[in-house]
Amino acid sequence: MANTNIKKVVLAYSGGLDTSVILKWLQDNYHCEVITFTADIGQGEEVEPAREKAQQLGIKPEHIFIEDLKEEFVRDYVFPMFRANTIYEGEYLLGTSIARPLIAKRLVEIAKQVGADAISHGATGKGNDQVRFELGAYALNPDIKIIAPWREWDLNSREKLLDYAQNSGIPIEKKGKKSPYSMDANLLHISYEGQILEDPAVEPQEDMWRWSVSPMNAPDTPEAISIEFKNGDPVSINGISLSPANLLDKLNKLGGKHGIGRLDLVENRYVGMKSRGCYETPGGTILLKAHRAIESICLDREEAHLKDELMPKYASLIYNGYWFSPERKALQALIDKTQENVAGKVTLKLYKGNVIITGRESKNSLFNQAYSTFEEDNVYNQKDAAGFIKLNALRFIIAGKAKK
């Protein structure tokens, strides 16, 4: 039921069907003033058309916020996450999850700026995004009011949304008879859900993929590249320094060309159900492998093992919407501390869906050939290993004797 005390609301607005219907629905049901916020985080589509659509629905020009957040997104969210080599449930690189905290942050900031009573989003009551948006918002403003139309209205199908749009004069074109895939894109990834993908046994159609060629159709010649890291973050490709957003965009193009980063996954949603989705994360797939390669020579063994132990917890926090939580921040501080000496260059080849590491070098390298060589050395006494093994085996020896 609409809260009559809400006079002004900030809506996360894409200009698409769902959020355009939400905009009109807020006006009709809450009788409030709507402020739209559209974030450009590298979704690969023009965001300016959202301005015209919002104006057509009666939004004042000064109440339309369209912001380029690509650099902030990659620098302050994607790169910190990749310092932990973050993967959810063994495969997913969290492309959707990591974008939600930034959007929530700006919604709350704009609400404060314009004196709004509430924020609103287009996430459904079945999905994870409602949790991510709202946990982020409450963490930043515990008094914020949130309107989630999908939990209030009865427009629970795309056909009903289209009917509402048509009856309300919302300027949206209906393309074809079937609903398209539900897609979410940003500079880190693009995801696909719905339609035939709702059957986990059905192979996705090849023409679904937008960012990458099929590995089978990728070039027959490997492409060699190098990535340089500083403090755990990539800073250049092939010796050319790039901003965080431009660097990730470049890797996306390189990876997509070689069929890298496709994923077909059934994941466990926060709300308890399983969900099948397909993802393209070409640049992130390259970065993850390159980052682990540079860490392999720069991190102490126990430091690296501790990171690996903490990573699933860190990934779960991001997936479940706890980016602004004290525990995520504490883990981030530890992770960032481990990255102080993670610097150097990784060389690799891209070939038919594969990222092949060919070398790594760093002035901070802990790899010492004098110790690790299989040839004769003057620094390691192999006899020392006997005492080490005997001490570690002592409890087994004592237990074995006791059984006799």
Question: Catalytic site residues?
Answer: 18, 100, 129, 182
Beta-carbon count within 10 A of 243 CB: 13
The token duo for 391 is 């001490």
Alpha helices in 194-281 (DSSP H): 244-257
Of 244, 215, 12, 234, the residue nearest 108 (C-alpha):
12
Distance CA 141, CA 132 (A): 14
Distance CA 74, CA 42 (A): 10
The token duo for 11 is 């809506």
Under DSSP, the state recorded for 63 is: G
Q: Which residues of 177-198 are buried (b: 16+ CB within 10 A; e: fewer)?
A: eebebbbbbbbbbbbbbebebe
For 341, list phi and psi in degrees, rounded to 5: -110, 10
Of 160, 92, 104, the residue nearest 132 (C-alpha):
104
Gyration radius (Cα) of the chain, Å: 25
Any bridge partners for residue 185, and if so which? 190
Parallel/antiparallel/unpaired status of strands 118-120 and 145-147: parallel
Any bridge partners for residue 182, and if so which? 193
What residues contact 246, with CB distance under 8 A and at least 6 apart?
none
At how many degrees (to 10) do helices 17-29 and 158-168 cross?
Answer: 60
End-to-end CA distance of the chain: 75
Distance CA 135, CA 328 (A): 13
232 in Cβ contact with 291 (< 8 Å):
yes
Distance CA 257, CA 70 (A): 22
